[in-house]
Amino acid sequence: MKIGITCYPTYGGSGVVATELGIALASKGHQVHFISYALPRRLNKYIENIFFHEVEISNYPLFEHSLYGLALTSKMLEVAQYENLDLIHVHYAIPHAVSAYLAKQVKKKMGGNIKFVTTLHGTDITLVGLEPSFMPLVKFSIEESDGVTAVSRFLKEKTLTNYNINKEIEVIHNFIDTNIYKPGRNDNFRKHIGCNGEKILVHTSNFRQVKRVPDAIRILQKVKKEIPSKLVLIGDGPDRSECERLARELNLQHDVIFLGKQDGLSDILNACDIFVMPSQSESFGLSALEAMACGLPVVSTSVGGLPELILHNETGYIAEIGDIDRMAKYVIELLQNEKKYSVFSENSRLRAVNNFEKNLIVPKYVQYYEKILSL
């Protein structure tokens, strides 16, 4: 099968999942063509059966803003035409699904056909797509997609409700390579961060308001009163400066370690004890899954798709948004009870392996492609 994949080539979850999906498909003998404005970050070496097509954006004085959506449409059309793609799989509705729809219409005028599948990842539905200027276009592009998948049941229901859509949406959860994300103590990094034997909490995100990263810092403040501990923050974004200010204000500047954007997350996770995710909204929680695969219990909010991933009182704990006291209490309970921590750690790893391993999920995408192509 020849598949075109379009995604945002950055650190975000949608780009990570799309890239890993392409890599997995290529390893099974499918030909994968990535179409984007830059090479996805995880395509950092040559991989057989994977090709990259850069969307070139022309800058004319006449146009005040770049015309990425139209440039993407043209590149999709070109690749579909000359590489004989079977279908295009776009990740994130805006503008990718709209561009794929336009490419399909132009190809139809040329006497051909190309089907496209749209995967919804979260903020394209719960945030960006709800802006009045985008809402009709998001609804249209979803309804006109030949197939639509969502990364959680929560996101599927949110899409159907928010946009009043009469469309079959397939739930295919995010996945992980449990041979890469697996338990394995990283004592060197651990000694560097917790040089006095402190317990280490960890959080990964894009530091946007919806992630509520300051809550993670306040959780650490409460945990430290009971247990010597530190907090590792991975990622970057608009709220980072505010988080650094808060750490100084709470006199935690030596206990909150900002690592910025990082590759090789499994090595860092394996030096930590508990993953905290105090988000206001999460359509799935890929970073939590990465932590679970490394055997870390997760303490999170009970929002979005997180209850589909984290089993309360089995693989971790979930609490209400903003309930810092309860989340801190859960962290302390796990860190003070070695037996319970060990059970939760093993349960986390098993849940990742038995439910979200890539070899279980990727075939579902292939089956879905075959279903769409047969219609």
Do 350 and 366 belong to one domain?
no
Res 22: pLDDT? 97
Range of the domain at 347: 187-355
The full DSSP string for 171-186 is: E----B-TTTS-----
Res 9: pLDDT? 87
Name the pTM for this structure: 0.91
Edge-to-edge strand ranges of the sheet holding 170-171: 50-54, 31-36, 2-6, 87-91, 115-120, 147-150, 170-171
Q: Which residues contact 270 (CB under 8 A, 6 or more apart)?
A: 183, 184, 185, 186, 294
Task: Write down the mean pLDDT value for the chain.
Answer: 92
Paired with 298 in beta bridges are 275, 316
Q: Which residues contact 213 (CB under 8 A, 6 or more apart)?
A: 203, 205, 207, 233, 239, 240, 243, 278
Q: What is the CATH number of the domain that holds 142?
A: 3.40.50.2000
Report whether pLDDT(299) > 80: yes
Report whether pLDDT(337) > 70: yes
CB contact at 8 A, 218 and 242: no
| CA–CA gap between residue 332 and residue 330 (Å, rounded) | 5
Mean pLDDT, range 14-27, rounded to an integer: 93
Do 230 and 363 belong to one domain?
no
* Residues comprising the chain, all counted: 375
| pLDDT digit string, tens, across residues 153-185 | 999 999 998 888 889 999 999 999 999 999 987
In a domain, 314, yes or no: yes
Residue type, 312: H
Report whether pLDDT(129) > 60: no
| pLDDT digit string, tens, across residues 68-88 | 889 999 999 999 999 999 999
Do 280 and 258 belong to one domain?
yes
DSSP H or E segment with residue 231: strand 229-234
| pLDDT digit string, tens, across residues 235-272 | 999 999 999 999 999 999 999 999 998 887 899 999 99
Cα 336-245-193 angle, rounded to 5 deg: 40
Do 116 and 205 belong to one domain?
no
- Overall domain count for the chain: 2
Q: Which residues contact 255 (CB under 8 A, 6 or more apart)?
A: 198, 220, 224, 229, 230, 231, 247
Res 128: pLDDT? 60
Res 200: pLDDT? 95
Q: Compute CA 203 distance to the chain's CA centroid, rounded to the nearest angstrom.
A: 14
In a domain, 182, yes or no: no
In a domain, 98, yes or no: yes
Residue type, 56: E
